[in-house]
């Protein structure tokens, strides 16, 4: 069972790399590029929208959101582009996963804004 999970995770990683190259390809439709950019940026982000330390919900994005986004993106991209990008993805995977610190920074900003909003709301509720 653990081997199946490892194999699934490796295939998912490969598909994210395929999307990474596909959104740079001129033959990919604009709507597919836009969707793929969001999926790839989130998958390569060093910070999750829902932190992994939150029980159950922390892994929800890794187990549901990323695979769902990858599946939808791949359906939007022409088959010949996917085939060529799969070859490029295999080569890139040998060098490791790139980090997307821009998206990571945006996620940190979202958490800071949420924390400030919750703090002000709690303050008004308890002290007014």
Q: Which of 12, 5, 9 is nearest to 69 (CA)?
A: 12
pLDDT band at 14 (very low <50, low <70, confident <90, very high): confident
SS3 per residue for 15-46: HHHHHHHHCCCCCCCHHHHHHHHHHHHHHHCC
User: Is residue 116 over pLDDT 70?
Assistant: yes
Which one has a higher pLDDT value, 94 or 21?
A: 21
Which one has a higher pLDDT value, 21 or 100?
A: 21
- Per residue in 34-58, pLDDT (tens digit) is 999 888 888 877 666 666 677 777 7
Which residue range forms the structural domain that includes residue 76?
2-127
Query: What span, in angstroms and rounded, lies between the C-alpha atoms of 76 and 61?
Result: 21
Give the count of domains, the chain.
1
């Amino acid at each position: 069972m653990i081997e199946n999970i490892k194999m699934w995770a490796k295939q998912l990683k490969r598909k994210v790399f395929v999307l990474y190259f596909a959104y740079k390809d001129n033959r990919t439709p604009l709507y597919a590029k836009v969707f793929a950019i969001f999926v790839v940026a989130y998958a390569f982000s060093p910070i999750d929208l829902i932190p992994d330390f939150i029980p159950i919900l922390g892994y929800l994005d890794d187990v549901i959101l990323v695979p769902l986004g990858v599946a939808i993106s791949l359906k939007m991209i022409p088959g010949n582009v996917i085939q060529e990008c799969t070859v490029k993805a295999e080569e890139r995977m040998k060098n490791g996963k790139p980090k997307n610190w821009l998206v990571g920074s945006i996620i940190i900003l979202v958490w800071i804004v949420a924390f400030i909003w919750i703090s002000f709301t709690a303050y008004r509720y308890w002290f007014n």
